[in-house]
Amino acid sequence: MTKQPVILDTDPGVDDALAMMLALGSSELDVMGICTVSGNVPLDVGTRNARGVLHLLGQAEIPIFAGADRPLKRDPVFATEVHGKTGMGRAALPEPNANQQAGRGVHAVDFLVQTLSEQPGEVVVIAVGPLTNLALAEQRGPGVLQKAKQVIVMGGAIAEPGNVTPVAEFNFYADPHAARRVIHSGAALVIAPLDATHQVMLRESDIEERIAPLNTARSQFVVDATRNMLARCRQIGREPMVYLHDPLAVGAAIAPELLDVETVYVDVETSGDLTLGQVVADRRDAPSKGRLGTPVDCVMRVRAEAFLSLFLSRIFSLACLQI
């Protein structure tokens, strides 16, 4: 089987780490490199986390390319109240060793531009953080994102409320100008918004009954990384669970048959006081003056149980989960 070359652009982050585990545990994918971006945590913290996760997975040879350390225009925002100060909840990742690939000192934007230009139509980009690196790549080489076979993005909320403001999802809120630029890039875009990612979650019972008993370094990492998120849910009176936002974007590359996609006309708000980062979706019936925004394939429904089984079997390298 020929493997699909992919670049993962990420701001690690607990669910970003889970997305890395899913991508690297999936034999359909050849992860060419990990690009990091400021988002859940500052760039240097996220880049160190990416190294630690690769080390944990025994894949330290995969290169990491550090990218943008701030959004295009707005001030940086982080999500440390969700992911913890280190970005990894209570998990202690292995210290990266000196031999670990550091991306040969190449900036993530240069890596994206060079790889997509050299291999037009071949590479899938999976972006699960703010879209700053992708937007800068497009700025550097206009049209470069159209050279990707597909650009899969976790971000935005269509009919679902936001998760950082009443209307905005974190990745689009953290860099709305970049999100807008990528949406209008003409790339073969698939977006996994909150509408879809809120259908996939690790419940506390999954963690206690299906993960903790595996008793491996990986399972312990997941238990420790997710502990604070579960506690936070309890504090605010919600069912304790962790959304699999970023893994779902990887799922779109490995198991698209589990997802239902709708073409939606979308744009992103870049200036509103109350609406910064909101996806404006034009779902009007036959508007007389044409639709606002750009048509984009948006994942709207997921076969959630099947996705969860796939996720667990891949991240723990189990042929079949009998738990």
Phi-psi bin for 275: left (phi > 0), alpha (psi -120 to 50), beta? alpha
- How many helices and strands (H and E) does the chain possess? 12, 11
- Does 16 interact with ligand BDR (rule: CB under 6 A)? yes
Residue facing ligand BDR at closest CB distance: 170
Q: In what order do the strands lie in the sheet with 29-36?
A: 64-66, 29-36, 4-10, 124-127, 150-154, 189-192, 294-302, 259-268, 279-282
195 binds ligand BDR (CB under 6 A): no
Q: Does 178 bind ligand BDR (CB under 6 A)?
A: no
Mask 37-56, x = binds ligand BDR (CB under 6 A)? ---x----------------
Structure-token pair, residue 153: 């993005």
Residues 10 and 291: their CA atoms lie apart, in Å, by 31
CB 46 within 8 A of CB 87: yes
CB of 178 to ligand BDR, least distance (A): 14
Which of Ca ion, ligand BDR, none does residue 195 bind (CB under 5 to 8 Å by kind)?
none
Other CB atoms within 10 Å distance of the CB of residue 290: 8
Q: Does the footprint of ligand BDR cover residue 138 (CB under 6 A)?
A: no
Q: Does 79 bind ligand BDR (CB under 6 A)?
A: yes
270, two tokens: 């870049």
Catalytic, 107? Answer no
Nearest distance from C-beta of residue 22 to ligand BDR, angstroms = 13
For CA atoms 186, 153, 174, 68, the dihedral sign is negative
Catalytic residue, from 83, 177, 198, 245: name it.
245
Q: Out of Ca ion, ligand BDR, none, which partner does residue 160 contact, by CB within 5 to 8 A per kind?
A: none
Q: Would you name the residues annotated as active-site residues? A: 245
- Binding region for ligand BDR (CB under 6 A): 13, 15-16, 40, 79, 82, 128-129, 154, 163, 169-171, 245-246
